[in-house]
Amino acid sequence: MNKVLTPVGEVFTRLLGPSAEVSITAYDGSRSGPEDAPVAIEVRSPLALTYLMSSPGDLGLARAYVAGALEVKGDLYTALHALAAQVDQLTTADRVWLLRKLGSTHLRRVAPPAEELPSRLRRTVQGLRHSKARDSSAIANHYDVSNRFYELVLGPSMAYTCAVFPKAEASLEEAQANKFDLVCRKLGLKPGMRLLDVGCGWGGMAEHAAEHYGVTVLGVTLSREQASWAQKDIVAKGLADRAEVRHSDYRDVTETGFDAISSIGLTEHIGARNLGSYFGFLAKRLKPGGRLLNHCITNPDTSVAHHSRGFIDRYVFPDGELEAVGEIVTAMHDSGLEVRHSENLREHYASTLAGWCANLDEHWDEAVAEAGAGRSRVWALYMAACRLAFERREIELHQVLGVKVEPGGEAHLPLRPDWGV
């Protein structure tokens, strides 16, 4: 006798509870949740359930969404916010019950969406983790999607790192300009100085420092697409005599004697084991009295694993690693840099991501035409999920300022910070 399976909508009612502010409709005609819920989820095919049951955690949900087997009607962030508490509370007993109600056929292996990268183990064909070859491949996978796609998501600033909002109602562009200016002030930049900007992206920091502070800047990025876009923009803005963006691994920079170094959003790609050599390398490029500003996403404490997993590792930042701010500070100190200031900008990154999500939503059709539906869904999901993670303090964002003191101990810093907000 064939087993009569439970309607999909009823299953979700049991899992999410009657108070969930999400409406769910399924391919079998069943539904769950209040009809007037602010967000509606469509389970479009059995493939969605197969992904969810065969891949526990966020990877299964991501596969279902990226493949289009699960659709969200309404704001994706609102949906994740509404579901976060319920999903976090799922127990082994819940999963066993789910299997009984929906059937074991959903445990079969199915191919993941085309946008998914191989597992960390299978990526060893590209070299050891954080070797130059493998880092180059990882960066190209994420950043060489399409410059036009990033223009649509990031806006005119082309800044792909946490902005600093001078006030809550500031625009994303104002906040990104304020971030670059804050970094320049913390570094104490003055006309005639030399700045090295590692992991420079599309050149926003290099251009701001050259234009507004009169410094000479060398920016380096592993993304060929970023370097090409940035160098053209530098020429177009008449800054080619003061700024250069080079397609290069930071480890291949031979110049020394810089007055300052900015590292904005690069440490996440370095690897915890390499922090010492990373800061040691940069310290050797500074002249005595020079400052280094490290700006990166961090773990909330040292108990959290360094390696990214699941959705983020397979779809967004392959081989990405995060450390707690204490580990960053220790590595900087051990490399000979004296840490003089640290600032947590966690809430600012949540607001930054909200701006990027709004940009992608506004330009959705053009983004899909440029990068494909699957890739656009990856970015929409990861940015909404990261916004929620920053709000819930699952991750943080720290700026840490260090100085390479003179042999006699002089740091050439004011007695109190003079860079303002």
Instruction: Indicate the burial class of 344 (C-beta count within 10 angstroms; 0-12, 13-18, 19 or more).
Output: middle
Average pLDDT of every residue of the chain? 89
pLDDT at position 1: 37
The domain of 50 spans 8-107
3-state secondary structure of 345: coil
Residue 89 confidence (pLDDT) above 60: no
Strand order in the sheet with 22-26: 31-32, 22-26, 39-43, 70-73
Q: Is residue 173 part of a domain?
A: yes
DSSP string, 83-152: HHHHHHT--HHHHHHHHHHH-GGGGS--PPPTTPPPPTTGGGGG-STT-HHHHHHHHHHHH-S-HHHHHH
**Residue 49 pLDDT grade (very low, low, confident, very high; cuts 50, 70, 90):** confident
Q: Which is higher by pLDDT, 282 or 35?
A: 282
Q: Kindly state whether residues 18 and 88 are assigned to the same domain.
A: yes
Q: Kindly state whether residues 63 and 148 are assigned to the same domain.
A: no
Q: Is residue 272 part of a domain?
A: yes
Q: Is residue 70 part of a domain?
A: yes
The pTM (predicted TM-score) of the whole model is 0.91
pLDDT at position 344: 98
Q: Kindly state whether residues 29 and 176 are assigned to the same domain.
A: no
Q: Kindly state whether residues 141 and 36 are assigned to the same domain.
A: no
Type of residue at 65? Y
Q: Residue 87 and residue 41: Cα distance in Å, rounded? A: 15
Q: Is residue 58 part of a domain?
A: yes
Instruction: Indicate the burial class of 421 (C-beta count within 10 angstroms; 0-12, 13-18, 19 or more).
Output: exposed
Q: Kindly state whether residues 79 and 213 are assigned to the same domain.
A: no
- Let me know: does 66 contact 117? Beta carbons within 8 Å: no
Q: Is residue 288 part of a domain?
A: yes
> Per the structure block, which two tokens stand in for 40?
């509606």
Per mean pLDDT, which of 80-94, 138-152, 199-213 is the most reliable?
Answer: 199-213
Q: Residue 291 and residue 311: Cα distance in Å, rounded? A: 36
Catalytic residue among 184, 200, 296, 386: 386
- Number of domains composing the chain: 2
Q: Residue 60 and residue 301: Cα distance in Å, rounded? A: 27
Residue 145 confidence (pLDDT) above 80: no
Q: Kindly state whether residues 324 and 368 are assigned to the same domain.
A: yes
Q: Is residue 22 part of a domain?
A: yes
Q: Which is higher by pLDDT, 57 or 369?
A: 369
Question: Residue 339 maps to which CATH number?
Answer: 3.40.50.150
386: annotated active-site residue: yes
Q: Is residue 412 part of a domain?
A: no
| Residue the block writes with tokens 């009607």 | 73
